Amino acid sequence: MPLIDRAKPVDIDRMRAEGQIPLSPARISEDISKVREKMEQLVPLFEETAQLQKDSSALVEKLLDLNTTLKALGFEDCLYIDKNKKKERYCLQGDWCWVCPSAIKYWKWEWDELPSASGG
């Protein structure tokens, strides 16, 4: 079935409103310009995100190096264990421990004890 029945009068406005007639070249060009403008606005955000990811990766590398250095210096447990073998601070509250030479995953124990998002 043809899109336009030549025997009937053609109502261009109705057909355009119903999406049966493609947009004009001028409208397409205008829309492309708008999209290009929006994309140009996003470029700085993409560049900033890429730089933040790069900085974050460098920071993680430094933290891993510090952790390796602590282990090489003989630290084998949490840096916040007192002489009575009790932790003086939490791993996951307040100022987190970003570097921990401990083979014991205290942070995991704390994580497991946190209330879940589902309320359980």
Answer whether residue 70 shows pLDDT above 80: yes
pLDDT at position 6: 65
CA distances from 52 to 47, 58, 68, 74 (A): 9, 10, 24, 33
**CB–CB of 66/58 below 8 Å?**
no
How does pLDDT run across 85-114, given as a tens digit for each residue?
Answer: 888 888 887 667 778 888 888 888 888 888
pLDDT at position 110: 85
**CB–CB of 62/80 below 8 Å?**
no
Of 27-31, 75-79, 114-118, which range is least confident?
A: 114-118
pLDDT at position 58: 93
Answer whether residue 31 shows pLDDT above 80: yes
